Chain A
Amino acid sequence: MSENFNSLDVDVLFVGGGPASLAGALHLTKLVARSNERIAAGALRDRKLEPQIAIIEKGRDVGAHAISGALFDPRALEELMPDYAKQEFPFPVTATAHEVHYLTTEHAYQIPPWVIPPAYRSTGCYVGSLQKLNLWLAQQVEDAGVHLFNETCGTKVLYDNDYVCGVLTGEKGLDSDGGRKANYEPGTRIQAKITVFGEGPRGTLAEDVIHKFNLRKGKTPQSYALGVKEMIRVRNPGSPGLAIHTLGYPLGSRVFGGGFCYGIDDHLYAVGIVCGLDWDDPRMDPHAQLQQLKKHPLIQQFIAGGVVVAYGAKTLPEGGVFAIPRLYTDGALLIGDSAGFLNVPYLKGIHYAMKSGMVAAETIVDALHSGNVSASALSSYESRLEGTYVIRDLHHVRNFRRMFALGFYPGLALGGLTMWTGLGPTRPGRMREDFTYLQHHENAIAKQRTHEPAQYDAGVLADKLTDVFHSGTEHREDQPSHIRIVDPSRCLTDCIPRYGDAPCTYFCPAKVYELIGQGDDLHIRVNFSNCVHCKTCVIKDPIDVSEGDGVQNIIWRAPAEGGPRYQGL
């Protein structure tokens, strides 16, 4: 590897350009300006701050890897920019009615609205795409003087005597063997006083920091869900403001999760399904489940005759309040989905992500003033956050997800009860990592459900590869693969005998893994250029190659180049 790096010094570095970092960086510029005004007015005796603030984002822009529902609760934005509605805010549509339906194969039963606690009703939330929100925030952030570096992936955390002191960005222009092409561009060592990890769920670098400093000590392991989503364009007038959540079919009682269908504008629907990754069925395929959901009469009434125009997939952290790691260490903070602030029954994370970034900004201003970026100085981030709705809301629903470990129907009843009352244990229960649900089954083949072979029509029902095309994802065919199977022989000695199949070929929503060849030539092919960066494989891969150390057979590192190019997800 090259020792020849570019270098760049900043004061504060946000890794990942999602709503958490964008809101955090913007709030930071505002807090700095406010404190400088007070200093200028003599109200505060301190030196003026002129921090260099940078955000790095691996996507082509901050919208390219952004995927969400999205029903957007403007709570954090109201605080960040009270006049947001006057600033060309990109969401013209609000949810007019929020319906929850329980689906059977043929029918839909609407759950009476009064059953749903008021705090979980999405009526009044904005309906739109996270891409637009991110691009809009990015404009404000850049106008405020923040350096936003797109197509820049953090590939390594820089440590200095156990202090986090920045990140190294990926080298570009490498060929498939790691050799340098004519346009080779070395990585950059971005040194920062404070590094804020807002990489979204299961951040490659955030997890490195969490492991190194054992930040999950005393917490439950994080558990995840995979969300797959399509945008469907219809000719008939659509239903802007429609917000439907579904339970039951097609996931049934074996997989925790549900579907959604949102009316985005006059001709566009967002349809998706979110599946808890603690399933035990080795042939569970979330993409196929989405197609099943789309065939249901409740959804068909909206999308029949339409065409898929965009597709994407991403994981969501569902472990709740007990799975949140310690949020600070020397020189670093964790924000947004990288920390795990997602409210499962409310199915919302954007405003919690934003708020966490903003609270981090408050701590950062103090640290910049004092010049102290040690863990103890940064620990006020965690205590501040505890006083906000981020932790309060997550604490209220702490037992919702856990009730489903008792089975789906009792879970529904008890989970619903905890939503109303906030009651239940206040200490974590035992939760296992998602991959163990496949791993520990003695008779995993028996857990398989037979999935009816899907029929696709290239219109409103799409096969996986067509959907990969709709994600716009691309990695140069001659770039080094960012996915590595540590010991390919284990696929044949572990998975095939145990499951009669390779689960990765089902759970990956982008057909990256393919079982090909026959007899002695049977092997897994890794089509890395299809990857949409959802992170399911690192979470769900059942083979633990390190015998208990948590190193799985699939290693996924954020690539220096490429990835999805989502449009309006």
Chain B
Amino acid sequence: MKQVPATESKLTIVADGNDIDRSNLSFIVNPYDEFAVEEALQIKERLGAGEVTVLSMRQHESQKPEEALRTCLAMGADKAILLDGPAFHGGDSFTTATALTSAIQRLPFDLLLFGKQAVDDDGGTVGIQVAELLGIPHVAVVNKLEVHPVSRAVVAHRQVEDGIEVVEASFPVVITCQKGLNEPRYPSLPGIMKAKQKPLNTWTCEDIGIDPGRLGASGAKLKTLRVEPPPTRLTGRILDGDTSTAVKELVRILHEEEKLI
């Protein structure tokens, strides 16, 4: 689970031009990761067995992933783990996947659920890379999931261009979650109270036995050269007059001024 800047954030770029200014941002649980947490809780409720652990990593000092983890605990997760320390800062999707993999190897699991992507950098590869590093199967961008505990397998549906692809895979397996999978629940007040008592553990790179050199900037395969804002949105224009004059004017503008048709 990744904590990301709230979707309505107005981003500005820091002076040296290779990152966004994170100092005044509000953060939220990545919306696709909410689908993953909700799915895990529903599976546990359906099966009447199992344990839901939420894992996150502090990638920037300004993030407050504890808050996001508490939200997941308030939704109903059983425990939370935060990978924390300067070694985890910076880096790219590969170092993130490397760190998560080391942590996951210290936990028992059958099913690993990820959001299909984080809405801040829209990379969309961390879950898949973790599956690769663990040497287990993955099914990406899933919008319906059946879990069969007896045969220890899942049947996952993914929306593809002209239909639905149905994939079967056996435990342990990585699933990345797409919108439509479920409607994430709201944390209830009693849930928020209970969450305060649930375990939220912090693990450093020593705890997960990983060499800091493989993390952060030194382990990254990608380097950010420059961050630029998207072009500013131009103001819209409302064409006056009745439909027929407005349409004529529109065609004239598209043809003569914008040269689009």
Contact = CB atoms under 8 A, between A and B. Distances in A.
Same complex origin of A and B: yes
Interface in A170-188: 172-173, 181-183, 185-186, 188
B189 interface: yes
B183 A183 contact: yes
Interface string B168-196: 00000000000000111110111011000
Contacts of A456: 235
Contacts of B24: 567-568
A296 interface: no
Contact of B26 (A173, A466, A565): A565
A188 B183 contact: no
A contact residues, range: 20 to 34
Interface string B218-239: 0000000000000011110000
Given A181-B183, A182-B182, A456-B235, A567 B10 contact: yes
Contact of B186 (A60, A173, A458, A470): A173
Nearest to B67: A61
B9 interface: yes
A364 interface: no
Contacts of A188: 188-190
A169 B26 CA distance: 24
A64 B26 contact: yes
A121 interface: no
B119 to A, nearest CB: 15
Question: Which applies to chain B's interface (DSSP): helix, strand, loop or mixed?
Answer: loop
Contacts of B192: 147, 149
Interface string A487-523: 0000000000000000000000000000000000000
A60 B8 CA distance: 12
Nearest to A473: B8
A344 interface: no
Contacts of A64: 26
B193 A183 contact: no
A6 interface: yes
A470 B189 CA distance: 30
Contacts, number: 62
A190 interface: yes
B217 interface: no
B6 interface: yes
Contact of B183 (A61, A63, A173, A463): A173
B148 to A, nearest CB: 22
A145 to B, nearest CB: 10
A565 B189 contact: no
A185 B186 contact: yes
A567 B9 contact: yes
B189 A183 contact: no
A459 to B, nearest CB: 9
B26 A60 contact: yes
A215 interface: no
Contacts of B189: 6, 8, 149, 152, 169, 188, 190
A472 B8 contact: yes
A310 B235 CA distance: 17
Nearest to B25: A567
A433 interface: no
B190 A6 contact: yes
Nearest to A151: B186
A264 to B, nearest CB: 11
Nearest to B233: A458
Nearest to A63: B26
A310 B9 CA distance: 10
A197 to B, nearest CB: 19
Interface in A537-569: 565, 567-568
A8 B193 contact: yes
Nearest to A463: B235
A309 interface: yes
B235 A457 contact: yes
B196 to A, nearest CB: 8
A148 to B, nearest CB: 9
A565 B188 contact: no
A141 B45 CA distance: 35
A474 interface: yes
Contact of A310 (B10, B190, B233, B234): B10
Interface in A1-19: 6, 8
Contacts of B26: 60-61, 63-64, 565, 567
A518 to B, nearest CB: 12
Interface in B10-56: 10, 12, 24, 26, 38
Contacts of A169: 189
Interface in B114-142: none
A172 B183 CA distance: 12
A4 B8 CA distance: 34
A474 B233 CA distance: 20
Contacts of B8: 472, 474, 565, 567
B235 A458 contact: yes
A474 to B, nearest CB: 7
A60 B28 CA distance: 10
Contact of A183 (B6, B184, B234): B184
Nearest to B235: A458
B144 to A, nearest CB: 14
B190 A172 contact: no
A310 B183 CA distance: 30
Contacts of A568: 24
Interface string A123-161: 000000000000000000000000101011000000000
Interface of A: 6, 8, 60-61, 63-64, 147, 149, 151-152, 169, 172-173, 181-183, 185-186, 188, 190, 233, 309-310, 456-458, 463, 466, 470, 472, 474, 565, 567-568
Interface of B: 6, 8-10, 12, 24, 26, 38, 182-186, 188-190, 192-193, 232-235
29 contacts: A6-B190, A8-B189, A60-B26, A61-B26, A63-B26, A147-B192, A149-B192, A152-B189, A169-B189, A172-B186, A173-B185, A181-B183, A182-B183, A183-B38, A183-B185, A185-B186, A188-B189, A188-B190, A233-B12, A310-B10, A456-B235, A458-B232, A458-B233, A458-B234, A466-B235, A474-B8, A567-B9, A567-B10, A567-B26
Per CB-CB distance, the 8 closest pairs between chain A and chain B, nearest first, are A472-B8, A183-B183, A185-B186, A458-B235, A188-B189, A172-B186, A182-B183, A183-B185
